Structure 1
Amino acid sequence: MHGFLRRFLAPRWQHADAQVRCQAAGRLDPARPDQRQALERLCLDDDPRVRRAALGRLDDPEALLRLLAQRPDNPELHGYLTELLCGQTGGLELPRRQALVEQLDDATLLAAIALQGDNQQLRLAALARLDEEEALIRQACDNGIAAVRHAAAARVTSEAGLQRLAQQARRDRQVMRQARERLNRLRADAASLKAARQRRETLLASLEAHARAPWEPLYAGRYRHLVREWEALEDLPDASQEQRFQDASLRCRKVITDHEAREHAHAAANRRHEQATEAREALLEALEESLAGLPRGDTLNEQDIASLRSQRLLLANRWQALSDLHVTDEALRQRYDAVMADYDRVIAAWERLVARREELEAALADHDHQRLTACLKACDWPGDLPDTPLLKRARDELAGASARQSEDLDAQLARFGEDLALLEQLLDRGAFKGASRLHQSLKHRAETLPAAQLRPHQASLKRLGARLAELRDWRGFVAGPKREQLCQAIDELANDGGLADAELDRRHRQLVRDWKGLGDAAAKRELSERFRAASDRIHERLGPWRDRLAAERTRNLEAREALCEQLEALLASPADNADPDALRQIRDQARQEWRRHSPVPREQAEAVGRRFGRIRHALQGLIDQRAEEVAEAKRQLIDQARTLLEQRMPPAARAEEAKALQQRWRQLGRAPRGEEQALWRTFRELCDQIFAAREAQREDHVQRARQRLDEMQALIDRLDAWHPTRHADGEVLEQAIDQAAALEPLPSGRRTEGMRRRWSGIVRARRERLTRLAVVEEIQRWQACRPLLDAHLQADATLLEGGEAESIPLDDGLALPADMIAAHEQRNASRRQPAEPEAITEQLARLRVHLSLLAMGRVHQHDEPLRLAIQVERLNEGLGRELTRAEEVRAVLRSLLATGPVSPEQWQREVGEFDALLTRLTQLPPP
């Protein structure tokens, strides 16, 4: 019951029947708020009839737009809003509608308003809110207002959209033309961008290839050239291209930096080589001075020989170490061999003397002169060396007592006193060995001098002998604890099992050197045997290690000898075109290999070192020879480049020849170090001059091309501002075309393409205007003939009414061309032999159709057979030369003048059409 009452008492606009709701909507008052809300709810009803009835009662666009936001799929609401905003209903003012359109977001509603709006500004406002390109294309093709079509077409930017516009915008040829132009420009820009990107890719590929190439003299210059070309490109690279460029640039700079580092290393190696040479010279000079100082001394003793051996050992070790690092000059090697020969001669003489020392001392003790002579002969002591004390004693003994007695006694005593003073100085300095040898000599000489004369020196000799004994005791007092310490240290070293073999050998050698440095001071048999026993244990312990070391030294020696054999084989048969850089690499690798195989046995170290030094010297000589040959070849290339620079030839061809020379330069290798840079600077300066001439020519070409472009632009502007007023002005157009042809060829590019399109359009427009002017001039001349035509028509009418055939004379003041005079005479003749009226009617129709084709390009449907016949005749007549439009108009008018006799009825039927067509032909295009 309650549901029935609720349905019975509910308002009619909420009735279940759609027809009732529709009727209720027509009775609702939109001025009342409650009924207005009911109308708004009915606008969203499920039944279309109810929605249409409710929408017809509302005229508030804001409320309707709110409802549209709730139900965007409501077609009735869409349609009513379209009619309301387009001004088709509702009577809303234009500013209000335009303000509402500027706030809309519904693309469908906006498209409908842009197509159906009653005002151009309203349509443009709706178009401005459209963003989808499909909607813009539809507006550009279908909109009824040209401004809206053009505005929509201007916002189409994609290539596909422009292509659709060019194909579908048949309603507006301007839109179609602009779409084609923008499409062509877009494609030209895309092609230009693609070409620029291709140039950048090509340049980037060249830079990456250059980064992978090894260094050569032109490497840095080519890298800078590629970077300048990259920076000169107008388009911007993308992120990947920029990253590739930075990576390639980094690799190129690394190659350049590595080369500079190698150059610095070579320079440092040269400095080290010079320092090594100076060190060799210093060592040689020291040994040479020592050998040269031997003959200047009074005697030669063991200390001198020990010092000489020490210097020789130092020289040999240092020389070998330096030879392992640097090649020895031939002059220094010869000096070294000479010094070694002198040293060997002195040492050999000393060893012969040492071998016969005991025999000489025994012969001296026995005063056996025969044995002394034999021993001296066996010693074969060099005459340029001073005698040793033993030799001097032997020679003095052989000289005999008479020779000794004959010597001045005072001089011997004076020398004895001087030696005593020298002995005292040696004792003051603590020089025990020198003082001991000098004291023995003084004691021996004291035995040979008379006791009476020697008595003043006896006390000094005893006192100095006592000081020498005290010094000997003191040395023994100091050396005793030292020997105990050394014995204890070597025992501890022998018992220490945790040391490595190399460290054990180093400490053992140091202890042995310290023990030997004590000499015979505090020498005791027990300590010596103890020290020797510990040393023997260490030697026994180091035996396997020394065997391994000896084996390693033997292997290193074999490797060094094999290396020498390989290098000798290389030097025995070098290649004629051996690359100096390859030889330098072999030299450096051989040096590294030599250092790696170290140490070698001491006995063979010096010999194999000398052998390697000679090989390296020969290899360096081969390198210098090949480098000099390269330098000579590069000097020839420099001469060729200089000759190329002086030749009269195109700069581009000269640059290509220079590139070939640069390629040959890179293939030659390097000249000697100091000369390579100088040659390269000279060659690069010549190449720079060649390329600068080419760049100057290119710049000149670019400047001339730019000048031609400017002249072409000025010509286009001048022709664009020029508007011919008579057909005779065509000479101005032909002169401009000749000037444009003289400016060809123009450089390629977007500017040139745009200029050519504009030039073609202007020339086409000016030719069309000149053609129209020629037609206008023909029609003006025809207007001057109208009195003559009227006279012929009057004569025709008289003839057709039964009168006589009258010939119309020419007016003397009327100047007609020959073809028009012939037509005039033909018209007079046609009245004497008149044709059939049907033929005259057909001829007039043909002339009208022909003139209509010339004026409008189309004819009526019933004139289509005549149009086809006329076009066939035009094609046949145009086989030899195609007639211009003015000539065709003139031919038609000439035929019109010659056609007769024409009745007034026939003329009245055609004259209006003829006048309209002639008036249309006199209309000129806008300037």
Structure 2
Amino acid sequence: MSGIFGRLFGPRWQHRDPSVRRQAIDRLDASQPRDRQRLEQLANDSDPDVRQAALARLEDPARLLALCDDQHSPELHAQLVALLTGQAGNVPLAERLTLVERVDDRDLLTRLALQGDNQELRLAALARLDDEPALIHQACENSIAAVRHAAAERVTSEEGLAQLARQARRDKHVARLARDRLSRLHEDASQAEAQRIERERILDALEQHAQHAWEPLYAGRYRHLMREWERLPDLATPEQEQRYQEACLRCRKVITDHEAQHQAIETADQQRNDAEAERQALVEALEESVASLRQGDSLTQQDIDSLLAHKRLQASRWQALSEQHVPSQELSQRYTQSLEAHERIRLAWERLEQQSDALREGIEQQDNARLRSVMDNIDWPSDLPPSPLLRRVKRQLSQQPVDPAGPQQAERFAKDLDELEKLLERGAFKQASRLHQSLRQRFDTLPADRRQPLQPRLKRLGARLAELRDWRGFVAGPKRNQLCLAIEDLAEDTTLLDAELDRRHRQLVKDWKNLGDAAAERELSSRFRAASDHIHERLAPWRKALDEERQRNLEAREGLCDQLEALLDNPDPGADPDALREIRDRSREQWRRFSPVPRDHAEQVGQRFGRIRHALQALIDQRAQEIATAKRALVEEARQLQHDKGTAAQRAEQAKALQRRWRELGRAPKGEEQALWREFRSLCDTLFAARESERDDRAQRARDHLDAMQALIERLDAWQPSSSHDAGMLEQAIAEADSLEPLPAGRRSEGMRRRWTGIVRARRDRLLRLALSEEIQRWQQLRPLLERHLDADAQRLEGHEAVSIEAMPGLDDDMLNAHEQRNAARQDPMTAEQVAETLSRLRVHLALLAGGRVERADEPLRLAIQVERLNESRERELSKAGELHDILCGILATGPVPPALWAREAGELDSHLAQLARLPTS
């Protein structure tokens, strides 16, 4: 339908004219589905009036809320707000609360929270708001306190809290909440920053500590930094945690390396102790060998050979041990004495061997004089048993046919025969041969009656020894052939190195010598000797170079000894034992490096180096003992610090100074160093623990003071004085605040002080206003008395007799004195000019007190009053209430006042009093 027909027969709600559509809305029924759809379409009409009229007929907020998803007209929002807030319609509260849960529009929620007819509805709308500016607006502008407080609780950002503190003038609770949360936020940020700075400080200290070398306090300092790190309440960042772990690894590596070095030192000390014990056993063996030789009945060549072989073996072992560890002075002396005893025995035996032929000739010729002369030349030691030859000589000289010790010799001879039989059964040819030879020599010295029973057994054992010799010869023949072929092959082998060639050659020669005379043949011996000489010729250059190297090593060892002796001759009294220990260890390494040396000089230079090392060790021990004494003194000082009167922090600083002195001293002897260090560290840990405890107590007291100050601020902020007599409560609160000072430094403390200062200033101003108001009220109560005085003044000025006015009850002393002065002034009145001048002065003073305007003519008077007030303020503290009281007392005391003068002055006095009553806080 179009054109005119469309206009004539079309629906009126779709008419082109908005007014017709507006009229058609009144005929639509919202309860009918079709009409409701038409109304919903008209709610989106282009004409605002049509939209508003259509929306007014729609009272279902759920349908309107669905329309909001498609259109956003102001009328639709207004109707929806009216329905949801309860301004229109009769929608139940429960349904409206359900619909609010579906609303997402910020503006709509804001209006619901501001205009809702129910607190629960407003809180539901507020809960849907997430925008902080909207929450700040609600906290400042909402008319319901609970909604304001709920909105303020959800503001969390620093900017939002600052804005809320500035704008929340309607609700002091909201402003105070915002300020408190902002203060806590600042305090938390300050604490977080302080903790971050503290964590960085600990990290820097730990990283620097990881770069230091080990010292006695290294592990303790590391543990202390770890405890400080773990005590921080906040969590470290990943970067900080990584730095912490790396620094800890480096610190633990330093500690582990020191422990390994300490273990190595302990191992070296153990080796030194083992070497000392072995040297002890070595010296005891040498001494025992000499002692056993002296305890025997007879001395034979076999005994001498055994003694000298044992001495060479022990001397070689002593030299090897001395190259590794220096012997003690006592052991060195005992070793030297043992060597001297062996040497005396060897020299005595050599002299005996040289004179043996002369002794035998003297025995054969029965020449006792010659025997005595030879015995004097031999000078046989008295503590040595005689040889068989010497025994015969002594018997010859003493003419003793029978030795008194014959039975004992025969018994010992029998025991030796038993021992020889055991050796033959074991096949110990060499020992059996030496023992058999000794027995044959001793057999001649036995008494004749003792030889007969022992001779058959000696012959039998001699025969068994001969059989064993023959058997060895049978076995040794192939062995000799084998050794001969081996040395000839070795002599022709040109592929071996000189050192290996020398080693194999020495082994073959040793094996050849071990065969002794078993299966000895001239031809094999010549072949073996020829091959050995050939090898000697080949090794001659190598041995020459080796001898030169040994000589150089000997010179180097002697030079090392010279350097060490020069050091010992002029020791530094303050030398560090660690430096001396390093010199000792390095000299030991150099000594070992300068090896081998010529054999004939090895023992001499080794003994010299041993003495030097012993002296160096003695110097080290001396310095270490001096350090131990100094460290014991430090331990005593640390123990005395436990009882000092200073604070724990001062004692901890003194303990740090002691620790620095401890590090500068060096190391005490090994076992004593550890014991002293454990005791010293325990005492220092106690001092540091006391410092930490004092810090914790001080921090707890600071927190308690902050909490008490916060509670006092809140209490004073909530208190409003109602009378000037409440000033005592304010002074009591100020005294309580002074008792809590000093507060710990920080933003929270500064904020508390600023807030406290503002609150105290505000309460003082209020008390001042109350005092002024009370003074003015009391003055108003005195108006009847003043009026009676004015009437009496007028009568007196008119010529009547002066009348005394009775005082009102309840006057204070100052007012009562002023009243009496007024009565007295009427008895002896001042001139009118004096009265006018006095009232003018009081009026100008009152104007200055009230901050009012002063006429130009009164400017000199104003300046004079200001100068007087300034001079008076230097002597005593002035208060406005006191000045006002003095001025009012002066007005009451001044008289008699003419009515005209009072009429002129009273207006300005009342104006200044009224202005003073509404005096602003300043």
Same fold (TM over 0.5): yes
The count of corresponding residues between Structure 1 and Structure 2 is 877
Which stretch has the larger CA shift, 281-290 or 404-413?
404-413
In the alignment, the residues of structure 1 paired with residue 38 and residue 354 of structure 2 have an alpha-carbon distance, to the nearest angstrom, of 147
In the alignment, the residues of structure 2 paired with residue 42 and residue 501 of structure 1 have an alpha-carbon distance, to the nearest angstrom, of 124
Q: Cα distance, 1:821 vs. partner?
A: 5.7
Are 1:655 and 1:690, in contact at CA under 8 Å, matched by a contact in 2?
yes
Q: Cα distance, 1:13 vs. partner?
A: 12
In the alignment, the residues of structure 2 paired with residue 83 and residue 418 of structure 1 have an alpha-carbon distance, to the nearest angstrom, of 141
1:618 aligned to 2:615? yes
Identify which of 511, 514, 539 aligns with 1:517. 514
Which residue is 2:580 aligned to? 583
In the alignment, the residues of structure 1 paired with residue 142 and residue 442 of structure 2 have an alpha-carbon distance, to the nearest angstrom, of 145
Identify which of 414, 424, 429 aligns with 2:423. 429
Q: Cα–Cα, structure 1 residues 725 and 901, in superposed 2: closer, same or farther, change >3 Å?
A: same
Are 2:161 and 2:181, in contact at CA under 8 Å, matched by a contact in 1?
yes
Which residue is 1:925 aligned to? none
Q: Cα distance, 1:19 vs. partner?
A: 8.0
In the alignment, the residues of structure 2 paired with residue 13 and residue 277 of structure 1 have an alpha-carbon distance, to the nearest angstrom, of 130
Identify which of 477, 480, 484 aligns with 2:474. 477
Are 2:772 and 2:884, in contact at CA under 8 Å, matched by a contact in 1?
no
Partner amino acid, structure 2, of 1:61: P
1:12-41 residue CA offsets vs partner (Å, 9 max, x unmatched): 899999989988996876555567567767
Q: Aligned runs of 1:292-691 on 2, under 5 Å?
A: 292-297=291-296, 300-347=299-346, 382-383=380-381, 407=401, 426=420, 429-430=423-424, 432-433=429-430, 466-484=463-481, 486=483, 509-529=506-526, 531=528, 560-637=557-634, 653=650, 655-677=652-674, 679-680=676-677
Which residue is 1:290 aligned to? 289
1:98-136 residue CA offsets vs partner (Å, 9 max, x unmatched): 332234333343234334545544333222222232332
Q: Cα distance, 1:667 vs. partner?
A: 0.9
Which residue is 2:837 aligned to? none
In the alignment, the residues of structure 2 paired with residue 903 and residue 338 of structure 1 have an alpha-carbon distance, to the nearest angstrom, of 136
1:728 aligned to 2:722? no
Which stretch has the larger CA shift, 704-713 or 342-351?
704-713
In the alignment, the residues of structure 1 paired with residue 474 and residue 237 of structure 2 have an alpha-carbon distance, to the nearest angstrom, of 91
Which stretch has the larger CA shift, 205-214 or 73-82?
73-82
In the alignment, the residues of structure 1 paired with residue 859 and residue 67 of structure 2 have an alpha-carbon distance, to the nearest angstrom, of 64
In the alignment, the residues of structure 2 paired with residue 626 and residue 449 of structure 1 have an alpha-carbon distance, to the nearest angstrom, of 64
Q: Cα distance, 1:44 vs. partner?
A: 7.8
In the alignment, the residues of structure 1 paired with residue 333 and residue 694 of structure 2 have an alpha-carbon distance, to the nearest angstrom, of 61
Q: Helix, strand or coil for the counterpart of 2:103? A: coil
Q: Cα–Cα, structure 1 residues 163 and 284, in superposed 2: closer, same or farther, change >3 Å?
A: same
Which residue is 1:884 aligned to? 880
Partner amino acid, structure 2, of 1:470: E
Which residue is 1:190 aligned to? 189
Are 1:114 and 1:122, in contact at CA under 8 Å, matched by a contact in 2?
yes
Partner amino acid, structure 2, of 1:727: S
Q: Cα–Cα, structure 1 residues 68 and 517, in superposed 2: closer, same or farther, change >3 Å?
A: farther
Give the TM-score, by structure 2 length: 0.72
In the alignment, the residues of structure 1 paired with residue 733 and residue 129 of structure 2 have an alpha-carbon distance, to the nearest angstrom, of 46
In the alignment, the residues of structure 2 paired with residue 787 and residue 40 of structure 1 have an alpha-carbon distance, to the nearest angstrom, of 78
User: Which consecutive unaligned segments of at least 5 residues does structure 2 have?
Assistant: 833-839
Which residue is 2:122 aligned to? 123
In the alignment, the residues of structure 2 paired with residue 268 and residue 547 of structure 1 have an alpha-carbon distance, to the nearest angstrom, of 39
In the alignment, the residues of structure 2 paired with residue 872 and residue 143 of structure 1 have an alpha-carbon distance, to the nearest angstrom, of 56
Give the TM-score, by structure 1 length: 0.72
Which stretch has the larger CA shift, 95-104 or 171-180?
171-180
In the alignment, the residues of structure 2 paired with residue 16 and residue 351 of structure 1 have an alpha-carbon distance, to the nearest angstrom, of 159
In the alignment, the residues of structure 2 paired with residue 415 and residue 158 of structure 1 have an alpha-carbon distance, to the nearest angstrom, of 117
Q: Cα distance, 1:60 vs. partner?
A: 3.5
Which stretch has the larger CA shift, 695-704 or 412-421?
412-421
Q: Helix, strand or coil for the counterpart of 2:517? A: coil
In the alignment, the residues of structure 2 paired with residue 777 and residue 410 of structure 1 have an alpha-carbon distance, to the nearest angstrom, of 144
In the alignment, the residues of structure 1 paired with residue 156 and residue 47 of structure 2 have an alpha-carbon distance, to the nearest angstrom, of 43
In the alignment, the residues of structure 2 paired with residue 452 and residue 807 of structure 1 have an alpha-carbon distance, to the nearest angstrom, of 177
Q: Cα distance, 1:521 vs. partner?
A: 1.2
In the alignment, the residues of structure 1 paired with residue 349 and residue 750 of structure 2 have an alpha-carbon distance, to the nearest angstrom, of 103
Q: Aligned runs of 1:825-844 on 2, under 5 Å?
A: none
Which residue is 1:840 aligned to? none
Are 1:709 and 1:752, in contact at CA under 8 Å, matched by a contact in 2?
yes
Q: Helix, strand or coil for the counterpart of 2:156? A: coil
Which residue is 1:837 aligned to? none
Which residue is 1:61 aligned to? 61
In the alignment, the residues of structure 1 paired with residue 50 and residue 360 of structure 2 have an alpha-carbon distance, to the nearest angstrom, of 159
Are 1:18 and 1:50, in contact at CA under 8 Å, matched by a contact in 2?
no
Which stretch has the larger CA shift, 76-85 or 519-528?
76-85
1:140-185 residue CA offsets vs partner (Å, 9 max, x unmatched): 3454555544433332222222223334445656544543443333
Are 1:18 and 1:47, in contact at CA under 8 Å, matched by a contact in 2?
no
In the alignment, the residues of structure 2 paired with residue 323 and residue 79 of structure 1 have an alpha-carbon distance, to the nearest angstrom, of 111
Q: Cα–Cα, structure 1 residues 69 and 619, in superposed 2: closer, same or farther, change >3 Å?
A: farther
Q: Cα–Cα, structure 1 residues 731 and 18, in superposed 2: closer, same or farther, change >3 Å?
A: same
Q: Aligned runs of 1:706-725 on 2, under 5 Å?
A: none
Which stretch has the larger CA shift, 23-32 or 441-450?
441-450
Q: Cα–Cα, structure 1 residues 645 and 101, in superposed 2: closer, same or farther, change >3 Å?
A: closer
Q: Aligned runs of 1:814-833 on 2, under 5 Å?
A: 817=815
Are 1:823 and 1:894, in contact at CA under 8 Å, matched by a contact in 2?
no
Identify which of 778, 782, 790 aligns with 1:781. 778
Q: Cα–Cα, structure 1 residues 160 and 550, in superposed 2: closer, same or farther, change >3 Å?
A: farther
In the alignment, the residues of structure 1 paired with residue 170 and residue 891 of structure 2 have an alpha-carbon distance, to the nearest angstrom, of 38
Are 1:12 and 1:24, in contact at CA under 8 Å, matched by a contact in 2?
no
Are 1:353 and 1:379, in contact at CA under 8 Å, matched by a contact in 2?
no
Are 1:850 and 1:870, in contact at CA under 8 Å, matched by a contact in 2?
no
1:749-806 residue CA offsets vs partner (Å, 9 max, x unmatched): 788678767865765565455445435533543553465689999999x99xxx9999
In the alignment, the residues of structure 1 paired with residue 11 and residue 710 of structure 2 have an alpha-carbon distance, to the nearest angstrom, of 78
In the alignment, the residues of structure 2 paired with residue 381 and residue 338 of structure 1 have an alpha-carbon distance, to the nearest angstrom, of 20
In the alignment, the residues of structure 2 paired with residue 733 and residue 338 of structure 1 have an alpha-carbon distance, to the nearest angstrom, of 100
In the alignment, the residues of structure 1 paired with residue 404 and residue 781 of structure 2 have an alpha-carbon distance, to the nearest angstrom, of 166
Coordinate RMSD, CA, aligned = 6.5
Q: Cα distance, 1:476 vs. partner?
A: 1.6
In the alignment, the residues of structure 1 paired with residue 44 and residue 82 of structure 2 have an alpha-carbon distance, to the nearest angstrom, of 18
Partner amino acid, structure 2, of 1:158: S
Q: Helix, strand or coil for the counterpart of 1:671? A: coil
Q: Cα–Cα, structure 1 residues 466 and 268, in superposed 2: closer, same or farther, change >3 Å?
A: closer
Q: Cα–Cα, structure 1 residues 635 and 425, in superposed 2: closer, same or farther, change >3 Å?
A: closer
Are 1:324 and 1:595, in contact at CA under 8 Å, matched by a contact in 2?
yes
1:703-744 residue CA offsets vs partner (Å, 9 max, x unmatched): 887887798789779978987664334335434534543554
Q: Aligned runs of 1:253-268 on 2, under 5 Å?
A: 255=254, 259=258, 262-263=261-262, 265-268=264-267
In the alignment, the residues of structure 2 paired with residue 503 and residue 446 of structure 1 have an alpha-carbon distance, to the nearest angstrom, of 49
Q: Cα distance, 1:283 vs. partner?
A: 0.9
In the alignment, the residues of structure 2 paired with residue 417 and residue 225 of structure 1 have an alpha-carbon distance, to the nearest angstrom, of 80
Which stretch has the larger CA shift, 886-895 or 98-107?
886-895
Q: Cα distance, 1:318 vs. partner?
A: 2.1
Partner amino acid, structure 2, of 1:429: L
Q: Cα distance, 1:585 vs. partner?
A: 2.5
Are 2:135 and 2:152, in contact at CA under 8 Å, matched by a contact in 1?
yes
Q: Cα distance, 1:280 vs. partner?
A: 0.7
Which residue is 2:132 aligned to? 133
Q: Helix, strand or coil for the counterpart of 1:105? A: coil
Partner amino acid, structure 2, of 1:337: T
In the alignment, the residues of structure 2 paired with residue 113 and residue 711 of structure 1 have an alpha-carbon distance, to the nearest angstrom, of 42
Which stretch has the larger CA shift, 286-295 or 422-431?
422-431
Partner amino acid, structure 2, of 1:575: D
